[in-house]
Amino acid sequence: MRPAFEAEGLVKRYGGTTALDGVDLQARPGTVLGVLGPNGAGKTTAIRILATLLRPDAGRAVVDGVDVLRDPVAARRIVGLTGQYATVDEDLTGTENLVLFGRLLDLTGPDARDRAARLLDRFGLADAAGRRASTYSGGMRRRLDLAASLVGAPRVLFLDEPTTGLDPGKREELWRTIRSLADDGTTVLLTTQYLEEADALADEITVIDQGRVIAHDSPAGLKQHVGGQTVVVRPRDPARTADAADVVRRVTGHPVDRSRGGVVTAPVDDGRAFAGIVRELERAGMDVTELALRLPSLDEAFFTLTGHDAGRTTTTQEDS
C-alpha cells in the first residue's frame, strides 16, 4: 500500500549545526507513527518540513502522493498541523477561530460555521465556544488546537508534542482522541519526548537522536530489540534494599540498578533466574511489595540505543 506520508533522506542545516542528517519517516494510512527523541533531536524540524513550513537542504517528502517541495499548495490541502505552541488566535473565540480557518480552507460561510460547531461539540468545547481562547485552560486550548487542525478534514495529521504541559488526566483524554482519529482513517505523525506516550499511541515508532534515525520498529519490537527482560524487586523495608541488591546480583550475575530509591532492577537472561530470585528472597526472609519481570521500558530502550538518557542530550542546541 502507498504510504500516507513519506520522507526520505531529509537534511537540514542551520549554519554549522545539522538539525537533520538524513532522516527517513513513513507511515501506512490510518496508522500512528510516533517520532520519539529528546529535545534537539530534530523532531520539530522534520515535522515542519513535512508540513511545508520549512524547506530541507536535501531529501524528499511526499504526503498522500503529493510532493511537498514541488507542490506545497496541494500538500497543504492534505495535511493538518498542531504545533508545539498554541496555534490558535487567543483574541478570538473558539468559534471565531474555527470559522476563520474554515474560510481560509475555502468552506462557505454556513459550512464553516457548521463544521466549527460540530468540532467544538466533539471536543467538549461547545460551552466555551463563545469565549476568547485566552480564557481557556491549557487542556481546552490543546483541544481547540487539535480541532483547528481538523477543520479541513486532513488525511494526514502532524502533531508536534501535543500533550506537552498537560496533566496526566488530560493527557490520556487527548490520547483517546488521537486514537479515535486514527480509527477514522486519519494518518497521524506524533512527536513526543514521552516514551510512555509513543508506547500508548503509536503503531510504529521511529527513534531519532541528533538528527539521525537510530531505530524504527513497533513498540513491542523495539522493546524486544533493545534487550531481554528486567527483574524488579522492591523490599517492603527500604533499609533492606542493599540486601535485595545482593540477592539479585548473585542470582542474575549482572550488575544491578538502584537509581530509583528502594527499588532494585537488573537484566535477566532467562526465566529461571526469576524463580531463583524468588527462592533466595524467601530464604533471606525478605518481604517485598513489588516483584516483577518485565520488558525494558522505552526509557531503558532509549538508553541502550543512544548511550545517554532521554531528555538529556550531549548537545545543548534547541530544537527549532
User: Residues in the site for another protein, rule: CB under 8 A?
Assistant: 51-53, 73-74, 76-77, 79-81, 83-89, 91-92, 96, 100-107, 111, 115, 118-119, 121-124, 132, 148-150, 152-155, 157, 172-173, 175-177, 179-186, 200
What's the Rg (C-alpha) of the chain?
23
Q: Smallest distance, Å, CB 44 to another protein?
A: 11
CB of 253 to another protein, least distance (A): 36
**Whole-angstrom distance, CA of residue 257 vs CA of residue 264:** 6
Residue whose CB is less far from another protein, 169 or 307? 169
Q: Which is nearer to another protein, 22 or 30 (CB)?
A: 30
Cβ 210 vs Cβ 244: under 8 Å: no
Cell of 101: 480557518
We find the least distance from the C-beta atom of residue 248 to another protein, in angstroms, to be: 31
The three cell numbers locating residue 288: 517485598
The candidate with the shortest Cα–Cα distance to 273, out of 227, 225, 231, 228, is: 231
Closest to another protein by CB, 173 or 243: 173
Residue 100: exposed, middle, or buried by beta-carbon count in 10 A (0-12, 13-18, 19+)?
A: middle
Closer by beta carbon to another protein, 287 or else 318:
318
**Minimum CB distance to another protein smaller for 116 or for 264:** 116
At closest approach, how far in Å is the CB of 22 from another protein? Answer: 24
| Closest distance to another protein from the beta carbon of 118 (Å) | 6
Distance of CA 200 to the CA centre of its chain: 9
Beta bridge partners of 293: 231
State the cell numbers at 107: 468552506
C-alpha closest to that of 277 among 214, 237, 230: 230
Q: In whole angstroms, how close is the CB of 57 to another protein at the nearest point?
A: 16
Q: How far is residue 186's CA from residue 163's CA, in Å, rounded to a whole number? A: 19
- Identity of residue 285: G
Query: Angle 138-150/94-104 helices, nearest 10 degrees?
Result: 20
Nearest distance in Å: CB 218, another protein: 13
* Closest CB to another protein among residues 179, 308: 179
Q: Indicate the residue among 109 and 227 with the shorter CB distance to another protein.
A: 109
Cα 140 to Cα 94: distance, rounded to the nearest angstrom: 10
